[in-house]
Amino acid sequence: MSDKQMLFKAEVNGEPVELQINPGETLLEVLRERLGLTGSKEGCGEGVCGACTVLVDGVPRRACLTLALEADGCGVLTVEGLALGKKVSPLQKAFVLEG
Ligand code: FES
């Protein structure tokens, strides 16, 4: 792994984010380990199961296969961002019910 850091800037769930990251870090790693957004899960880690899916500029992406730098400058929406203010959205509720 390279120790060269790069600047990652994005809007995550409507909030501006600016982080130094390693170029090889996946979007899933940045979301879960750097930002504490653990709603996106690592299931297969191979782009098959969809447990890591987020929207990048409105397009579904497998975060386990997406380098964070591919989302640089983009809007990223995770399941946490679906909340309606402090209320759980119907889609979030469905995720909870289905485990
Ligand atoms: Fe299964 Fe990303 S963890 S598709």
What pTM does this model have? 0.90
Q: Which pLDDT band holds residue 83 (cuts at 50, 70, 90)?
A: confident
Question: Which of 26, 48, 56, 66 gets mutated to test ligand 1 (max ligand atoms within 8 A of its CB)?
Answer: 48
Asked if residues 83 and 92 have their Cβ atoms less than 8 Å apart, the reply is yes
For the purposes of burial, counting CB atoms within 10 Å of the CB of 82, is it exposed (0-12), middle (13-18) or buried (19 or more)? middle
**What pLDDT does 18 receive?**
98
**What pLDDT does 84 receive?**
83
**What pLDDT does 2 receive?**
55
* Nearest atom of ligand 1 to the alpha carbon of 50: 4
Residue 56 Cβ < 6 Å to ligand 1: no
pLDDT, averaged across the chain: 93
Token pair belonging to 67: 């380098």
CA of 43 to the centre of ligand 1 (A): 5
* Nearest atom of ligand 1 to the alpha carbon of 42: 3
Residue 44 Cβ < 6 Å to ligand 1: yes
